[in-house]
Amino acid sequence: MNGLDFEKPIKELEKKIEELKKFTVEKKIDLSAEIKRLEQKLHDLKFSIYSSLTSWQRVQIARHPQRPYTLDYIQMMMYDFIELHGDRSFSDDKAIIGGFAKIDGLKVMVLGHQKGRTTKENILRNFGCAHPEGYRKSLRLMQLAEKFNLPILIFIDTPGAYPGIGAEERGQAQAIALNLREMIRIRVPILVVVIGEGGSGGALGIGVGDRILILENAYYSVISPEGCAAILWKDSSKAPEAAEALKLTASDLLELGIVDEVIKEPLGGAHTNPEQMAKILKEALLRHLKELLDILIDTLLERRYNKYRSIGRIV
């Protein structure tokens, strides 16, 4: 992976540093001072680029193929994960995974969208686009969590729900709508985090919770920038303009009151240091979980309901 277009100056400088290091070893010439100078220049360049990203550039980072996915975070943050399958009606949708797990000794139900890294994996996971059976499986697992009084952790990372004919025939809209209604009244804490793409109803279908967190370079939107551009201008190449207008970045969403906290990513994005990202995210999840577990469930449900009733204002 050569990186994104705006990352080219970074990649060129990284290549130059590697060449100097290799030259130092092969020729036994001390270039440590020059290497140190370039490494500082690289850090400054990264800080300059990543602290002033456009909305469209953040969308590109959110879609980076090396970005950690739900299973990656489960493996890095949790243990004793037991995956559960099927909606008990049609099939098992592999675009959404879920099951029992433990995080820092706390038993939870964890679920989320799962993409693939290779073409074969993406076909298996349907590129993270869930079918109705994926949403029905999610609801089954959340109701199971309620039965055993386990808090629920949800990871969102999807371009959107699958829009195919088969999905519509099997009740895609009804499955998502049912989840929205039922999640409002699930009697255990629900903590949601947007780790990559948060696309429309496909994200919201498992996105109702007491706290909504979002990673710094993730996005959450009613429609993709390309889809918005195609509708407004009949030209998907205007996606960068659409991304700005949609107010879909983490900072925009925090300002609008859609999310409760923005989780800082390592410099360059979560994919540059997945282990550090997992550590940062784990600390945030545990902090919010402990706060939610201390709230009486009836109070929690009332706040959850009011949270979603109050979303939406003209700016």
Looking at this protein, which amino acid is placed at residue 2? N
The predicted structure's pLDDT at residue 276: 96
pLDDT of residue 310: 87
CA distance 199 to 96: 14
Q: What's the pLDDT at 46?
A: 87
Residue 135, pLDDT above cutoff 80: yes
Residue 1 has pLDDT above 50, yes or no: no
Kindly report which listed range (6-20, 84-98, 133-147, 298-312) carries the lowest average pLDDT score. 6-20
Supply 20's token pair. Answer: 């100097």
- Across all residues in the chain, what is the average pLDDT? 92
Kindly report, residue by residue over 150-187, the tens digit of the pLDDT. Answer: 999 999 999 999 989 999 999 999 999 999 999 999 99
- Mean pLDDT calculated for residue range 79-95: 94
Report how far residue 208's alpha carbon sits from residue 201's, in angstroms, rounded to the nearest whole number.
Answer: 11
Look at residues 81, 59, 60 and name the one whose alpha carbon lies nearest to residue 71.
81
- Report whether 219 contacts 206 (CB < 8 A): no
Cα(247)–Cα(234) distance, integer angstroms: 20
Q: Helices marked H in 68-114 — which ranges?
A: 70-77
The β-bridge partners of 199 are 221
pLDDT, mean of residues 100-128:
95
> In percent, how much of the chain has pLDDT > 90?
75
What's the burial of 182, exposed, middle or buried (CB within 10 Å: 0-12/13-18/19+)? middle
The model's pTM? 0.90
Query: ∠ CA 282-288-292 to the nearest 5 degrees?
Result: 140
> What is the spatial distance between Cα 276 and Cα 272, in angstroms, rounded to a whole number?
9
280: left (phi over 0), alpha (psi -120 to 50) or beta: alpha
Could you give the CA distance from residue 255 to residue 134 in angstroms, rounded to a whole number? 31
Residue 277: in which H helix or E strand, if any? helix 274-293
Task: Compute the average pLDDT of residues 71-75.
Answer: 96
Rounded Cα distance between 52 and 31, Å, is 32
The mean pLDDT of 73-93, rounded to a whole number, is 95
Model pLDDT for residues 25-40, shown as the tens digit of each residue: 777 777 788 888 888 8
- Whole-angstrom CA distances from 26 to 13, 17, 31, 195, 267 are 20, 14, 12, 42, 31
> How do strand 261-263 and strand 211-215 relate by DSSP bridges?
parallel
Residue 258: which residues within 8 A CB-CB, separation 6 or more? 212, 220, 311
How does pLDDT run across 191-235, given as a tens digit for each residue? 999 999 998 889 999 999 999 999 999 999 999 899 899 999 998
